[in-house]
Structure 1
Amino acid sequence: MQTPTDRTRLGALRSFRDPRSVAVVGASDDPAKWGYWIAQGALLGTHRRTVWLVNRSAGEVQGHPAHASVAALPGTPELVVLCVPAAHVEAVVEEGLERGVRAFLAITAGVAAADRLRERLAAAGARLIGPNSLGLFDADTDLQLAWGHFTPGRIGIVSQSGQLGSEIANLAARAGLGVSRFVSVGNQYDVRAPELLEDLIDHDATRIVALYLESFAGGDDLVRILRRLRAAGKHTLVLATGASEGSKRLAASHTGSMTSAIDVVDAACRAAGAVRVTTPTELVEVARFLSVAEAPAGARVAVVSDSGGQGGVAADVAGALGLDTPVFSAALQADLAGLLPAGASVANPIDLAGAGEADLMTYAALCERLVASGEVDAVLLSGYLGCYGEDTPALLDQELAVVDRLARMAQDSHVPLVVHTMSAGSGAVARMWEHDIPTYPAVESALRAVARAHHLAAYPGRTLDRPAPRDLGVRPGYWAARDLLGRIGVPLPPGVVVGTVGEARAAAGVLRAPYVLKAGWLAHKSEHGGVVLGLGSADELADAFAAMHGRLGDGEYVVEEQDRSANVVELLVGARRDRDFGPLVTVGAGGTEAELWRDVRTELAPVDRATATAMVDALRSRPLLAGWRGRPAVDVEALVEVIVAAGAAVADDPAVAELEINPVRVSPDGLLAVDGLVTPGDEEAGR
């Protein structure tokens, strides 16, 4: 729900989408200059708003009167566009503020004194987009203040890179989608991307949002706004490169070193109900699919092809994208076999084996059986359909009839149909798009669109319930970490603190052999010879202590009972505080080789049991937990509880910068955390 402050803040953005008047400072007659394009675009909206051109040395620009300065204008512009050299930006802003201007769009790059400019704008209650912005476009309000040309449509673009955003707009135009609103945020001195995204929530013309950011500062707020966009029925496609500013610093632990910036962005997208894409082309491919088709409810894809080779390629691509091509039931295979020649493959992929050429309606009949079966979540048609009428004009009417029948099936079903065709743009392909059947010239494009759409269905977003902060009493050292882990419900082996050979020998009297000796103050004990396992007696323990103390000196040494559980799988559970997105929790393959395997799953914290279970299920090593080669299954529920507890600890206590439990030894009878690390935040560490 929007607060009055939110409404006031968003209301101030009206000047950037539908100003009553615009002044272009630096307007030019030279097509090589920004001032030419901004002025030309602004003049397209003179039927809706007053447009003034400002050029200190010209009496006329593009056939319209020019004014020497903002101060010389006959009225106060609601929005001033800055296309002047960087050295003049502050002076023009100051002149505008004195005139009463409260909205500025700074195209100029290389503007210095960011803090001073920001403070001056804030003091005057003014807003600025940019600098280093490629500009604005709003199809509804006939506002074009950007380089190039825009085709009106359904995609709202918010981009930190103006040129990349422009590429998305051009690709969207070629795909028949077009742009509803375009904002190049530039350096974000004042107005930031989350505000502009929030402004799209109630923008009826925008159905799909394209977002490109190089920095995710304020990521917590961004996730909340993307969730609101999703709740408003708008899908957000996030283009990110992995260089998010706040995630460049990787923590010194296994958890930090195994979690990349892209892992964190993906976790944020899952929490927000958005999906990440890797290129502008992929973004538009997915947007085309979402503009006409429902997202598949699951990952099961039926592959239908008139070529065994193309069907095999499609199945491989589907698998690489995380989609499933399940073997059909015997009943469904028998049903499909009745439509095809003897010996045709009907298990999935399906090879038509010439049935399409014999009767084009076989394509439609087969898809109808698949959709009605309940065994698939999407159907891919791959191959020659779309080419029949193009190569043999006498077959065009028959092919169009097939497309029309497929369209009726798609409209009546919640199982999306997607087509990969060898035609670049035949009449049948045009008819498919007219009937809202997504159709692509490359099978990887078709299946990527299905996979990303399925992701959106699988991850609709979740609320990150963060209760009032609590003080967990973070202190340095392993013994303190054991204490904290025990208080949040993580099982640990019995242990004691020792400082002398005598105390080490005495520990053997209260603990069960074999023993483990640890130098408790070292973060990575094994790398510094700070841990000895398998000590079978009091003498062995005393000797090990004497040797370790001789190498490492005084400190807090810990003796523990060594876990003797059978059929154990070692994992890592970690949680940390990301500078941009806040609390994160990670689970992965553990032990000293954790970084080697890099088998991890990260989510924004806190997580509930369902999310923690999904994290475990996403691991490549998940089969080890279910029992591998005759071994019994381990206690996954106990592991889930530890993931939930670790995420809650970092989310609840700001003093916890990082928490790592590695390894977590999970057995059929439960689990034990046999090593742990808790790192305080900077403020806590300095106390």
Structure 2
Amino acid sequence: SDGDISFMSQSGAFITAVLDWAAERDVGFKDIVSLGNKAVLDESDFVAEWGDDPDTDVILGYLEDINDGSSFVQTAREVTQETPIVLVKSGRTDAGASAAASHTGAMAGSERAYEAGLDKAGTLRVESVQELFDYAQILAGQPLPDGDEIAIVTNAGGPGVMTTDAVGDSDLQLAQFGDETFSRLREEMPDEANIYNPVDIIGDAPAERFETALETVLADDNVSMAVVVACPTAVLSFEELSERVVEQQERFEKPVAATLMGGKSVDAGANVLSEAGVPNYFDPARAVGSLDALRRYREIRATEYEEPTTFDVDRERAREILESGARRGSNRLGVEAMELLDAYGIPTPQGDVVSSPVEAEAIAEEIGDDVVMKIVSPDILHKSDIGGVEVGVPVEDVRDTYEDLVVRARNYQEDATILGVQVQEMVDLDNGVETILGMNRDPQFGPLLLFGLGGIFVEVLEDNTVSVAPVSETEAKGMLDDIDSAPLLRGARGRDPVDEATLVETIQRLSQLVTDFPAIVELDINPLVATPDGVQAVDLRLTLDQEKL
């Protein structure tokens, strides 16, 4: 039948199944498209087309992959300001991730890239076909709520508790009623009723008692939306109830969802609701989940997309460093490329890579304190495992330590390319938090930034978040909020909070670097030490695609 939902799918079989499902439930579609092998038009083209179509209220999609992630993100971002896009994305496997060279590399082409990309695109991601259509119905039929507070009206205690639990699992809150609401409910409801949210108007409630309760809670400014949960009783006509629910929804223009719990007895009422665009779900958890989708979509529409900041950097110097690395014939660069970060204004500790004991001593004297020394070799990835790192070396031991490090590296691998030894000032880890900042270039979405807890905890805790570059300041701040260890950065356990502004700026500067140089395929700064006084990039690893230089 005709409808206001347009639907695209990369699976033909899936479309047939959906058409059967829709016919059974009288769900109407505006357009249905099988994307097939996407020879000419792809998902972005249809999103753009339906975004301009006044008759399409909701865009649904079943996607297995996305052709051009960045064009999809740009197109969808504009369209979702007017028309919600709800997607089921299949294929949650991370095959091939283990072959990656860096920590960040494990994300390529993965589930996380899609999550970050679809998030940036402003789409609502769902887990199942049922959710896809649950969301479609409510987004097409109901207004957006102006807050997150929900009222529950029910004639049965048990389903009321189920609904309350579902609210607890969502990002909605149970509304706190105002005094006027309480006094009116006290007056109008029987003594055994529960007038607190969830409002239980008990089993002998006819349709009009439901109506009075619903009208009273919707009139309360503390209530942004409501769900009506009704079990069949001898005194209740579902059809009459539905007519009254529709009237009150239209009067207050707040979103309402219904849960009519019953078999055939529900049909007449469900039709009344569906004609008016009030969704009805057999399970109260689905009703709450769908109202939560309205909240999510409201947040998407309220998101203001800012342009990423452009910093004043030394692009030419950065290019020279990458090219000289490539000339050495290695596609993997380490701390010898630290100046790359300097060129983009990312703070690094004082120090340098040197090729003789005498030069090492000169750098240590310049630093004027104990130093850290590391062997620099593209062939030796895990330097500390082979004794290739010495910490707290006093100036007088620097020459001997230089010789020791080279000998250890040769013993470990005779033909290893040794570019020298890095001599670096010690970074105060006691006062700081070790984080990781990295990038991996995803085949669909391009550069994917990763930020999280770093140092030795990277593999153990796996506390990190990803975002598609380039990122704006707000998105970079959001990355800090997204990790579980955010309190560590903000001064948990009596520590001083780290310099968050510089950390946010460093994420943006790395975003600019990897956007400027498509030749950088992967990059890890681990650790990036954040202290109350700023940040310092202590170690660097990156992989180049030389053909793109």
TM over 0.5: yes
Cα distance, 1:490 vs structure 2:
1.5
Q: Which deviations, in whole Å up to 9, do the C-alpha atoms of 1:624-663 show, x marking residues without a partner?
A: 3333244333222222111111112112222322332222
One-letter amino acid of the counterpart of residue 355, structure 2: G
One-letter amino acid of the counterpart of residue 125, structure 2: R
Q: Which deviations, in whole Å up to 9, do the C-alpha atoms of 1:42-79 show, x marking residues without a partner?
A: xxxxxxxxxxxxxxxxxxxxxxxxxxxxxxxxxxxxxx
What secondary structure does 2:45 align onto? helix
5 Å matches for 1:536-547? 536-539=393-396, 541-542=398-399, 544-547=401-404
Q: Which deviations, in whole Å up to 9, do the C-alpha atoms of 1:123-142 show, x marking residues without a partner?
A: xxxxxxxxxxxxxxxxxxxx
- Does 2:142 correspond to 1:293? yes
Separation (CA, whole Å) in 2 of partners of 1:653 and 1:574 = 14
- From 66, 69, 73, the equivalent of 1:216 is 66
RMSD: 3.7
Q: Could you say which residue in structure 2 is the equivalent of 1:20?
A: none
Structure 2: state its 5+ residue gaps.
326-332, 411-417
Asked if the contact 1:169/1:178 (under 8 Å) is kept, the reply is: no
One-letter amino acid of the counterpart of residue 300, structure 2: Y
Q: Could you say which residue in structure 1 is the equivalent of 2:505?
A: 641
Q: Which deviations, in whole Å up to 9, do the C-alpha atoms of 1:360-419 show, x marking residues without a partner?
A: 6665566566656655654444x4x2x3xx4214565873565245323542x4xx2333
Separation (CA, whole Å) in 1 of partners of 2:421 and 2:408 = 13
One-letter amino acid of the counterpart of residue 294, structure 1: P
Separation (CA, whole Å) in 2 of partners of 1:545 and 1:421 = 77
Q: Could you say which residue in structure 2 is the equivalent of 1:206?
A: 56
One-letter amino acid of the counterpart of residue 423, structure 1: G
What secondary structure does 1:559 align onto? strand
Separation (CA, whole Å) in 1 of partners of 2:362 and 2:470 = 41
Q: Could you say which residue in structure 2 is the equivalent of 1:180?
A: 30
- Does 2:249 correspond to 1:407? yes
Q: Could you say which residue in structure 1 is the equivalent of 2:8?
A: 158
Q: Which deviations, in whole Å up to 9, do the C-alpha atoms of 1:101-160 show, x marking residues without a partner?
A: xxxxxxxxxxxxxxxxxxxxxxxxxxxxxxxxxxxxxxxxxxxxxxxxxx4322222221
Structure 1: state its 5+ residue gaps.
1-150
Q: Could you say which residue in structure 1 is the equivalent of 2:415?
A: none
Distance 1:541 1:191, change over 3 A: same
Separation (CA, whole Å) in 1 of partners of 2:288 and 2:353 = 57
Query: How many residues are matched?
Result: 519
Q: Could you say which residue in structure 2 is the equivalent of 1:589?
A: 453
- From 199, 217, 235, the equivalent of 1:352 is 199
Q: Could you say which residue in structure 1 is the equivalent of 2:256?
A: 417
- Does 2:111 correspond to 1:267? no
Question: Which of structures 1 and 2 has the bigger CA Rg?
Answer: 1
Q: Which deviations, in whole Å up to 9, do the C-alpha atoms of 1:534-572 show, x marking residues without a partner?
A: 415235555544333222143232122222154433222
What secondary structure does 2:5 align onto? strand
One-letter amino acid of the counterpart of residue 234, structure 2: T
Q: Which deviations, in whole Å up to 9, do the C-alpha atoms of 1:7-35 show, x marking residues without a partner?
A: xxxxxxxxxxxxxxxxxxxxxxxxxxxxx
Distance 1:394 1:311, change over 3 A: closer
5 Å matches for 1:402-481? 402-404=244-246, 406-411=248-253, 413=254, 416-424=255-263, 425-460=266-301, 462=305, 472-473=318-319, 474-475=321-322, 476=325, 477-481=333-337
Cα distance, 1:315 vs structure 2:
4.8
Identity of aligned residues (%): 26
- Does 2:470 correspond to 1:606? yes
Separation (CA, whole Å) in 2 of partners of 1:538 and 1:431 = 85
- From 398, 407, 410, the equivalent of 1:550 is 407
5 Å matches for 1:269-284? 269-284=118-133
Asked if the contact 2:387/2:408 (under 8 Å) is kept, the reply is: no
- Does 2:233 correspond to 1:391? yes
What secondary structure does 1:183 align onto? strand
Asked if the contact 2:109/2:443 (under 8 Å) is kept, the reply is: no
Q: Could you say which residue in structure 1 is the equivalent of 2:533?
A: 669
Q: Could you say which residue in structure 1 is the equivalent of 2:173?
A: 325
One-letter amino acid of the counterpart of residue 156, structure 1: S
- From 435, 439, 458, the equivalent of 1:575 is 439
Instruction: Give the stretch that moved more between structures: 660-669 or 248-257.
Output: 248-257
What secondary structure does 2:80 align onto? helix
Separation (CA, whole Å) in 2 of partners of 1:484 and 1:216 = 32
Distance 1:427 1:492, change over 3 A: same
Cα distance, 1:513 vs structure 2:
3.8
Asked if the contact 1:576/1:650 (under 8 Å) is kept, the reply is: no
Distance 1:512 1:195, change over 3 A: same
Asked if the contact 2:436/2:524 (under 8 Å) is kept, the reply is: yes
- From 385, 389, 392, the equivalent of 1:532 is 389
Asked if the contact 1:238/1:276 (under 8 Å) is kept, the reply is: yes
Separation (CA, whole Å) in 2 of partners of 1:654 and 1:410 = 53
Separation (CA, whole Å) in 2 of partners of 1:303 and 1:250 = 51
